[in-house]
A and B are shown apart, each in its own frame.
Chain A
């Protein structure tokens, strides 16, 4: 039968869809099913995305799951704590995500995470959250191991990062231009550095900007004339952490408050922690976990609070 014929078209229109099959025209049947399959595929895809977004919304309200999000400086440690906790409590799932300090603060406020992580102090408009300090971290100023400079005053560091001192010879080094490497705007490490070292001064816009502690360390370990700052816990023998006002950044110097570049690792919650969330936070603050921190370059909370009491300031 010629599918183009007028009669055929009439018939199709009258009999509707059923006629395709009764008619037995192979071309018809094939393209009809193909179109059907196509639209089916589209709807399935759409449905899949709908389901996906629904499950994403619902997952925060699930009973045995804790979602933690925020600072990428804290993330690797939180991952480890979560794993240890889950080993002991197999029914609980703890989901640790990154997103940065600001992202973590927002996530708790909006309720998309149960616990937020921040590696900088909260700003005034963020103070409505409850802060729990889980550890302290030092900030190290690093240079290439071959750099003859190994001590700087806080003022010198400030001038270097502000772009006023641009040559190593000014500070007893070789006659080479200084390559300043910093973190990007919004990162907790940069925020802490800005607050503790720079104060109101701006970090020079000529500075090279990288988006992780690892890359900053990588660049400083390869460029003899560079200087940067990273988490003390991440300093290894590829770079040299310089002394500040004569004090090497060591656990002891930080604990006693002599080495000034110290920042808290904060857990943030919206309301007084209860149930699972409280259990996990207590677990992190327990001696088991806290006593492990020094091996990883962090400083336990208790040591600082004890030392703080004995200090006059």
Chain B
């Protein structure tokens, strides 16, 4: 057995301290959210929390269903917009554009990630919301507006991870496919994309994570009505907005109910991650 040298032990110890600090922070946050949120959930019934449709904290009515549906809808909308756009951009930049163009464009896409979310929200409020209101009807502050803004916000994540995973596909695959008489597009569709699949799925999962967790931009463009949206043009409130919107003024059980919102969000993200990982593993196993 090799005994660690004393200074190795010292390094190990300090690194362990650092690693433990990070894990401790995570543990403390988790415990804190559950400790604050669970009692009120138990008191008013888990069923009322998850399936109740009325959110009136001042009347002790804490139905989170509209917010749960809202979060899922807005995330779905963001993926519907962000995934096709992101994948198309990534395929273009890796397979169809000249090296020089892609070297120029990739940093531009990555720059999108550096724009603060409040700026996206502000632009949405100034341009997108009035556009929807005047051309499609409704108040403008809507599921659609939130989906479009989030769809744009998750683009850089999806694009850069997709580019990396498409580039990682060996050139011999492409050459083999072309040699068999496939066109460029057939090669991309039937050889490159299936080979890059796990990376593409990972990019989409990360994008989804960003979409469901985004708060500021969504508050600004979604309208935040705590009601099940009747259409894409109706206002909607997500779980994260519910917390951020009311945290400042909440006290007592209202405050605890916001922590309970956090608990629900926590569990939903866990489930989504689990499902996504499962899907990724299934595909790579095939």
Contact = CB atoms under 8 A, between A and B. Distances in A.
Interface of A: 3, 9, 12-13, 16-17, 20, 28, 31-32, 34-36, 38-39, 42, 72, 98-103, 105-106, 177, 179, 184-188, 191, 194, 202, 205-211, 218-219, 222-223, 225-226
11 contacts: A13-B6, A20-B6, A35-B11, A35-B13, A36-B10, A38-B15, A99-B248, A185-B250, A188-B249, A208-B223, A209-B225
B5 interface: yes
Contacts, number: 113
A-B complex: 8 closest residue pairs judged by Cβ atoms: A186-B249, A100-B249, A209-B224, A205-B227, A179-B139, A102-B251, A208-B223, A39-B14
B225 A205 contact: yes
B7 A208 contact: no
Nearest to B137: A177
A9 B5 contact: yes
Nearest to B10: A35
Contacts of A35: 7, 10-11, 13-14
Interface residues on B, range: 35 or more
A34 B11 CA distance: 8
Contacts of A38: 14-15, 18
A45 B246 CA distance: 32
Given A208-B141, A208-B224, A209-B226, A98 B248 contact: yes
A103 B235 CA distance: 28
Given A186-B246, A208-B225, A225-B139, 16 more contacts: A9-B3, A13-B6, A32-B10, A39-B14, A42-B14, A98-B248, A103-B248, A105-B251, A184-B246, A186-B58, A186-B250, A186-B251, A206-B225, A207-B225, A208-B223, A209-B245
A100 B248 contact: yes
Interface in B233-250: 234-235, 237, 245-246, 248-250
Contacts of A36: 10
A42 B58 contact: no
Contacts of A72: 248
Which of A38, A98, A177 counts the most B-chain CB atoms under 10 A from its CB?
A38
Contacts of A39: 13-14, 17
Nearest to A179: B139
Contacts of A103: 248-249, 251
Nearest to B230: A206
B229 to A, nearest CB: 10
Nearest to B254: A186
